[in-house]
Amino acid sequence: MRIQNNMWKAVILIGGPDKGTRFRPLSLDVPKPIFPVAGIPMIQHHIEACSKVPEIKEVNLIGFFHYTEMLKSFITMAKQKYSLSIKYLSEYGPLGTAGGLYHFRDQILSGTPEAFFVFNSDVCCNFPLSDILHFHQSKNGDNRITIVATEATHSESMSYGCLVEDENTNEATHYVEKPETFVSSLINCGVYVFTPDVLRCYMAEVFRQHQEESLEMGMGDSNFPDAIKLETEILAGYAGSGKMFVYKTKEIWGQIKSAASAIHANKLYLSVYRRTKPEVLAKKNPDGPIIRGDVFIHESASVDPTAVLGPNVTLGENVEIGAGVRVSNSIVLSGAKLNDHCCVLNTIIGWKCKVGEWSRVEGTAQQPDPNAPYSKIISGQLFNEDGRLIPSITVLGREVDVAPEIIILNSIVLPNKNIHANSKNQIIL
Amino acid sequence: MSPNKSFSLSNTSIGTMKALILVGGYGTRLRPLTLNVPKPLVEFGNKPIMLHQVEALVEAGVETVVLAVSYMSDILEKEMNQHAKRLGIKIVFSQEDEPLGTAGPIALAKKHLSDEKCDKPFFVLNSDVISDYPFSKLLEFHKGHGKEGTICVAKVEEPSKYGVVVYEGDTGRIHRFVEKPQEFVSNKINAGMYIFNPSIFKRMKPEPMSIEREVFPYMAEESELYCMELKDFWMDIGQPKDFLKGMCMYLTSLKKKSPEKLYKESNGVTIVGNVLVDETARIGKNCKIGPNVVLGPNVVIEDGVRIKRSTVMREATIKSHSWLESCIIGWESTVGQWARVENVTVLGQDVNVKDEIYLNGVRILPHKSISTSVPEPQIIM
């Protein structure tokens, strides 16, 4: 009874251009889901994890980004690299986190998979998919959901979906999205397994109710009556039904909402590389450059032997690092050039940026509270109550040119700017 | 000296040339540098501030220098006595028991400046002023008009901040002084360098008294006060911001007068503009130094360092790839790799700035170790 068909699928919810606004200006140039973290696009980590599970035969990306060359070439590359069937299923509009799943139910369920993974694209995780798969298989019921959860601190939990678990049965007895008061420190990781009947039965019912409501309200206030929110409309209703199970992970987990959380995710993924494939990390070499901690250097990047890199640095394709350059806790995107003696700390350097000699580009690192177990990075607001920019990671958008001997501190620089003056705590349009 | 000569005091002057330097108190405005070193001994252009003044006085023929101090400093006494020996002059310390302002200390030192054996005019100067000190010209000008006193005046851009001097352009005779003028009357201010005939002592008592307010206006009224404009450079360097401004002027002047003293481009070091380097200082490869930089004895500049408009005091170390602009690095201090130090940051003695630190307009007291950046102007105790 347990195994009907040993074929699984995966769905990655990639959203659309109106999402990821906290990730601007970087998401102006590239769809956030393919923004590189630890050297590869964010969702390539998901795809790579899927490729390691023999049962998973197909990965579907659902979203409403235009099917641009960038997205196309990413999918072509990933298909070849991982020998997986990868498709982009384009929504006609923002259908919400579950609306797209329902809309494309026929594609997802074609070939009658036993079950399918659903991932949010902006989670950073080491994806113990085989374990999750076995966990899901160990539970009974035709229309069950497995939800991956992790511990958060008391105060941080309220920024996430919160779950209450019956520890004897692993059943989720309660689910609430971003509660105002504390409910549980167990939070939704944005990774799920759905049995096909969830889509066929429960979601169909939610969808039918939506249609009825929108007919009564004369289309209502939404242009997308088909939009369904997974968290509030499916999970919250499913909790307590005895059909939703909690898979708890104590592994690394983070969300990538802001530049600061991308830097942190970069760190988490580099630490995963350290354990699973240390050969991809930069090695300490007596001839230089000096490597401190985990550093990922793309093979096409050129680094002067007198540079000092790390910890937590990723250099993208064709990046050039000059003599005496210092980079720490930063992501340097492809084609960027850091000239001699410059210092880059806690920063994302955009594609093809140039930083002049002796310039300093520095942000303020946001780290999880080191004294609180399970602490995460909360991607809060950009501005404080006085309307001032909250010190955070500095971001240079694409092709920003920073003159020599300048300091840019806690700033966000929009693309294609030439910076000739110091900038502190500013957004440079 | 024959006894009959003592009757000719009023016609020909006798005795040797003398000068008084108003040293005053603790130099609090130049802290944290003056916490360890008396202000007159703080090096300016690799030479104690006071030595610039004393050497210029000696060149003009001065043989006795009176230092009017409000507190005694053993270090100052010891060091100045050494210089006195070397220069073949006499240095006298005149200590006031309570602050006597700007005129009181002169009256207090009367016995050192003039007696029956000496009726020569004497110089008085504030210890904070830096200039090319044209004392010989001042003496000549003073003798030329024959009146009781001459003060030097300097041109400033914003006269409304100061007391200005209104005088007759062709003769230099002072009409009046105007404190912080709201409307433009003059752009010349008192430069804190004077020459007086001993007859000025009748106007002053050894008690708290201001020469600017209680002596000069009366002299001007009686047409006994003239002024001479300083054409070259002048700066009151009592504050760090002005210390650096004065340093730039001093280096420009040095370039004109003795360019051979300035540092020349050498292997692997790029020199921009005027840079003064002690011969015992060492500079690494791929550095870019200048304009307007002074490096003191035994200073170590490691590779790839950029320094502009700064003074680095004796035995300080600047580590690789750091960037410094408009700062004063105190004696024996260390600035870490990839540090950025700017905007009139002053490190006291033996301050240790760790790697990758950013300091903006920070005053750091001696013997501190700095391991977090200070991005806004602040004092670190």
CA angle A193/A268/A271 to nearest 5° reads 115
Question: How many angstroms separate the CA of residue A226 from the nearest CA in chain B?
Answer: 51
Question: Rounded to an integer, what distance in angstroms lies between the CA atom of residue B122 and that of residue B68?
Answer: 14
Q: Tokens 């690789």 belong to which residue? A: B320
**B258 and B220 share one domain:** no
Is residue B378 a part of any domain in this protein?
Answer: no
Per-residue pLDDT reduced to its tens digit, A27-70? 888 889 999 999 999 999 999 999 999 999 999 999 998 888 89
Is residue B12 a part of any domain in this protein?
Answer: no
Q: Which phi and psi (to 5°) does residue A207 adopt?
A: -65, -40
Question: Rounded to an integer, what distance in angstroms lies between the CA atom of residue A118 and that of residue A121?
Answer: 9
Contacts of A341 in chain B (CB under 8 A): 286, 304, 306, 321, 323, 338
pLDDT at B127 over 60: yes
Is residue B171 a part of any domain in this protein?
Answer: yes
**B177 and B312 share one domain:** no
Is residue B375 a part of any domain in this protein?
Answer: no
Contacts of A325 in chain B (CB under 8 A): 321
- Inter-residue contact A83 to A51 (CB < 8 Å): yes
Is residue B27 a part of any domain in this protein?
Answer: yes
For chains A and B, count residue pairs whose Cβ atoms are closer than 8 Å: 47
Sign (positive/negative) of CA torsion A408, A413, A416, A420? negative
DSSP one-letter string for B124-183 = EEETTEEE---HHHHHHHHHHH-SSEEEEEEE-S-GGGSEEEEE-TTT-BEEEEEES-SS
**B231 and B277 share one domain:** no
Question: Rounded to an integer, what distance in angstroms lies between the CA atom of residue A408 and that of residue A391?
Answer: 12
Question: Rounded to an integer, what distance in angstroms lies between the CA atom of residue B328 and that of residue B307?
Answer: 11
Question: Rounded to an integer, what distance in angstroms lies between the CA atom of residue A312 and that of residue B266?
Answer: 38
ipTM over 0.85: no
- Please list, in sequence order, all residues whose beta carbon lies within 8 angstroms of the beta carbon of residue A247, skipping any fewer than 6 positions away: A131, A132, A135, A136, A146, A147, A148, A149, A170
Q: Which phi and psi (to 5°) does residue A315 adopt?
A: -110, 125
In degrees to the nearest 10, what's the CA dihedral of A47, A50, A51, A56? Answer: -130
- Inter-residue contact B108 to B94 (CB < 8 Å): yes
Closest-CA residue to A424 (of B372, B358, B355)? B358
**B120 and B159 share one domain:** yes
Task: Give the pLDDT confidence score for residue B16 in this predicted structure.
Answer: 84
* Domain termination site, one of B180, B209, B238: B238
Question: Rounded to an integer, what distance in angstroms lies between the CA atom of residue B218 and that of residue B367?
Answer: 49
Question: How many angstroms separate the CA of residue B358 from the nearest CA in chain A?
Answer: 9
Is residue B119 a part of any domain in this protein?
Answer: yes
pLDDT at A380 over 80: no
Question: Rounded to an integer, what distance in angstroms lies between the CA atom of residue A394 and that of residue A344?
Answer: 10
Task: Give the pLDDT confidence score for residue B14 in this predicted structure.
Answer: 60
Query: Which carries the bigger pLDDT value, residue B29 or residue B193?
Result: B193
Q: Is B259 an interface residue toward A (CB < 8 Å)?
A: no
Question: Rounded to an integer, what distance in angstroms lies between the CA atom of residue B66 and that of residue A360?
Answer: 50
Is residue B3 a part of any domain in this protein?
Answer: no
Q: Best of A355, A358, A408 to disrupt the B interface by mutation (most B CBs within 10 Å)?
A: A358
CB contact under 8 A, A326 and B375: no
Average pLDDT of every residue of chain B: 89
Q: Which of the listed CATH numbers 1.10.3470, 2.160.10, 2.60.40, 1.10.10 matches domain A283-428?
A: 2.160.10
Question: Tokens for B26?
Answer: 């603790």
pLDDT at B323 over 50: yes
Closest-CA residue to B172 (of B147, B192, B209, B206)? B147
- Please list, in sequence order, all residues whose beta carbon lies within 8 angstroms of the beta carbon of residue A145, skipping any fewer than 6 positions away: A192, A193, A194, A195, A198, A234, A235, A238, A243, A244, A245
CA angle A288/A289/A292 to nearest 5° reads 115
Compare CB distances from A341 to B304, B356, B375 and report the shortest one's residue: B304
**B200 and B313 share one domain:** no
Task: Give the pLDDT confidence score for residue A218 in this predicted structure.
Answer: 59
Sheet containing A326-328: which strands, arranged edge to edge? A290-291, A308-309, A326-328, A343-345, A360-362, A407-409, A423-424
Question: Tokens for B317?
Answer: 């170390």
Contacts of B373 in chain A (CB under 8 A): 362
**B320 and B227 share one domain:** no
Domain hosting B192: range is: 18-238
B50 three-class SS: helix
**Catalytic: B180?**
yes
Question: How many angstroms separate the CA of residue A311 from the nearest CA in chain B?
Answer: 14
Question: Tokens for A399?
Answer: 């092709």
**B269 and B164 share one domain:** no
- Please list, in sequence order, all residues whose beta carbon lies within 8 angstroms of the beta carbon of residue B168, skipping any fewer than 6 positions away: B174, B175
pLDDT at A429 over 80: yes
Contacts of A288 in chain B (CB under 8 A): none
- The residue type at A270: L
Residue of A nearest to B320 (CA): A324
Question: Rounded to an integer, what distance in angstroms lies between the CA atom of residue A246 and that of residue A132?
Answer: 10
CB contact under 8 A, B356 and A343: yes
Q: Is A352 an interface residue toward B (CB < 8 Å)?
A: no
Question: Rounded to an integer, what distance in angstroms lies between the CA atom of residue B295 and that of residue B129?
Answer: 21
Sign (positive/negative) of CA torsion A298, A299, A303, A306? positive
> CA dist A286 to A277, A280, A392, Å?
22, 18, 34
Q: Best of A292, A340, A343, A347 to disrupt the B interface by mutation (most B CBs within 10 Å)?
A: A343
* Domain termination site, one of B187, B204, B238: B238
**B306 and B158 share one domain:** no
- Inter-residue contact B156 to B178 (CB < 8 Å): no
Task: Give the pLDDT confidence score for residue A377 in this predicted structure.
Answer: 66
pLDDT at A389 over 60: yes
Q: Is A326 an interface residue toward B (CB < 8 Å)?
A: yes
Query: Which carries the bigger pLDDT value, residue B169 or residue B244?
Result: B244
Question: Tokens for B256?
Answer: 């004109």
Question: Rounded to an integer, what distance in angstroms lies between the CA atom of residue B315 and that of residue B347?
Answer: 13
CB contact under 8 A, A324 and B358: no
A15 three-class SS: strand
- Inter-residue contact A163 to A136 (CB < 8 Å): no
Is residue B380 a part of any domain in this protein?
Answer: no
- Please list, in sequence order, all residues whose beta carbon lies within 8 angstroms of the beta carbon of residue B15, skipping any fewer than 6 positions away: B115, B117, B118, B119, B120
Question: Rounded to an integer, what distance in angstroms lies between the CA atom of residue A9 and that of residue A6?
Answer: 10
Instruction: Please state, for a pLDDT cut of 70, what percent of chain B lies above it.
Output: 95
Question: Rounded to an integer, what distance in angstroms lies between the CA atom of residue A307 and that of residue B304?
Answer: 12
Task: Give the pLDDT confidence score for residue B312 in this predicted structure.
Answer: 98
Closest-CA residue to B138 (of B154, B155, B116, B127)? B154
Contacts of residues B313-318 at CB distance under 8 Å and 24 or more positions apart, as own/partner, are: B313/B43, B314/B43, B314/B278, B316/B347
With residue A137 as reference, give the H or E element that holds it. helix A129-138
- Please list, in sequence order, all residues whose beta carbon lies within 8 angstroms of the beta carbon of residue A261, skipping any fewer than 6 positions away: A254, A255, A366, A377, A379
- Please list, in sequence order, all residues whose beta carbon lies within 8 angstroms of the beta carbon of residue A243, skipping any fewer than 6 positions away: A141, A143, A144, A145
DSSP one-letter string for B212-260 = HHHTHHHHHHTT-EEEEE--S-EEE-SSHHHHHHHHHHHHHHHHHH-GG
User: The domain spanning residue B56 has which CATH number?
Assistant: 3.90.550.10
> CA dist B361 to A267, B343, B373, B374, Å?
33, 5, 11, 9
Contacts of A326 in chain B (CB under 8 A): 321, 337-338, 356
The third-level CATH classification (topology) of the domain covering A8-255 is Spore Coat Polysaccharide Biosynthesis Protein SpsA; Chain A (3.90.550)
Question: Rounded to an integer, what distance in angstroms lies between the CA atom of residue B292 and that of residue B250?
Answer: 9
pLDDT at B332 over 90: yes
Which of A391-395, B114-118, B197-201 has the least mean pLDDT? B114-118
Compare CB distances from B306 to A326, A328, A358 and report the shortest one's residue: A358
Query: How does residue B3 score in pLDDT terms, banded at 50, 70 and 90?
Result: very low
Task: Give the pLDDT confidence score for residue B58 in this predicted structure.
Answer: 94
Question: Rounded to an integer, what distance in angstroms lies between the CA atom of residue A58 and that of residue A12?
Answer: 11
**B301 and B161 share one domain:** no
Which of A361-375, B63-77, B84-98 has the least mean pLDDT? A361-375
Pure H helices in chain B: 49-59, 74-87, 104-108, 110-113, 135-145, 211-214, 216-221, 240-257
Choose, from B5, B117, B180, B264, the residue flagged as catalytic: B180
Question: Rounded to an integer, what distance in angstroms lies between the CA atom of residue A6 and that of residue A115?
Answer: 9
pLDDT at B106 over 70: yes
* Buried-state track B246-270, b at ≥16 Cβ within 10 A, e below 16: bbbbbbbbbeeeeeeebbeeeeebe
CB contact under 8 A, A405 and B306: yes
Whether the ω angle into residue B32 lies within 30 degrees of 0, i.e. cis, is: yes
* Buried-state track A289-302, b at ≥16 Cβ within 10 A, e below 16: bebebbbbbbeebe
B368 three-class SS: coil
* Domain termination site, one of B238, B259, B289: B238
Q: Is B338 an interface residue toward A (CB < 8 Å)?
A: yes
CB contact under 8 A, A358 and B323: yes
The total domain count for chain B is 2
Which of B255-259, B265-269, B305-309, B355-359 has the least mean pLDDT? B265-269
CB contact under 8 A, A326 and B358: no
CB contact under 8 A, B321 and A424: no
**B222 and B109 share one domain:** yes
pLDDT at B4 over 60: no
CB contact under 8 A, B356 and A341: no
Per-residue pLDDT reduced to its tens digit, A223-273? 566 788 888 888 888 888 889 999 999 888 999 988 888 999 999 999 999
Task: Give the pLDDT confidence score for residue B280 in this predicted structure.
Answer: 95
Question: Rounded to an integer, what distance in angstroms lies between the CA atom of residue A207 and that of residue A210?
Answer: 5
Q: Which phi and psi (to 5°) does residue A108 adopt?
A: -65, -40
pLDDT at A4 over 90: no
Query: How does residue A410 score in pLDDT terms, banded at 50, 70 and 90?
Result: very high
Task: Give the pLDDT confidence score for residue A223 in this predicted structure.
Answer: 58
User: The domain spanning residue B297 has which CATH number?
Assistant: 2.160.10.10
CB contact under 8 A, A358 and B338: no
Count Cα neighbours of A201 within 13 Å in the Cβ-side half-sphere: 10
Domain boundaries, chain A: 8-255, 283-428
Give the mean pLDDT of B222-246. Answer: 92
**B209 and B319 share one domain:** no
